Amino acid sequence: MNVKSARFITLEGVDGSGKSTQAKLLKEALEAQGHTVLLTREPGGSPGAEEIRSLVLEGEPDRWSAETEILLFTAARRDHLERTILPALEAGTVVICDRFVDSTRVYQGLTRGDLREVVDKLHVLMIGREADLTLVFDMDPVLGLAPCEGTPDDRRAF
């Protein structure tokens, strides 16, 4: 990690790695130092993106093909970027985002390896922005699995 003036910070890692708790603590700590901070998350993070999130996460697991699912997630991310992330960054706000494109890259790379390139191409074409800094919360999943088991989003969270 060798970044200066990082304003767009994404948090990644397996379920139960504590990143959502850490996101809140980081927001509080930065605010205590005088920064304006926006905490957001994916999938979702804007009203339109939340609606798309519901489309993907509700209903039958085979409701969408893997290709359509990637398009929906990219559409949601585009809306989140336009409506939430970029306006905040332009206002000088530090943006902390709980999951971003790296979750999609990893998840799709594992479930449909042949679609990983599609994820990257769509990202370049429609999002065109990486985080300034990405924190990976690394831990043995055995330690983190229990609290999250059975939550509705486990099925296809990204």
Q: Counting contacts by CB under 8 A, is residue 115 touching another protein?
A: no
* Nearer of residues 72 and 133 to another protein, judged by Cβ: 133
Smallest distance, another protein to C-beta of residue 126, A: 20
Cα radius of gyration (the chain): 16
Least distance between another protein and beta carbon 1 (Å): 4
What is the nearest approach in angstroms of another protein to the Cβ of residue 152? 12
Chain centroid to CA 126: 16
- Told to check if 78 binds another protein by CB under 8 A, we report no
Judged by beta carbon, residue 126 or residue 136, the one nearer another protein is: 136
Q: Which residue has the tokens 């449909």?
A: 112
Q: E strand or H helix at 122, and its extent?
A: helix 116-122
Q: CB within 8 A of 84, min separation 6: which ones? A: 38, 40, 45, 46, 49
Q: Nearer Cβ to another protein, position 24 or 63? A: 24
Q: Of the ranges 19-27, 38-46, 57-65, 84-92, which one interacts with another protein (CB under 8 A)?
A: 19-27
Residue 143 sits in the site that holds another protein (CB under 8 A): yes
β-pairing, 37-41 vs 94-98, is: parallel
Contacting residue, 110, 114, 128, 152, with another protein by CB under 8 A: 110
DSSP state of 17: S
Q: Give the tokens for residue 57.
A: 């996460």
Cβ atoms < 10 Å from Cβ of 96 = 23
Position 128, amino acid = G
Q: Which residues pair with 129 in a beta bridge?
A: none
In the complex, the residues that contact another protein under the rule CB under 8 A are 1-7, 9, 12-15, 17-19, 21-22, 25-26, 29-30, 33, 35, 94, 102, 105-107, 109-110, 130-145, 154-155, 157
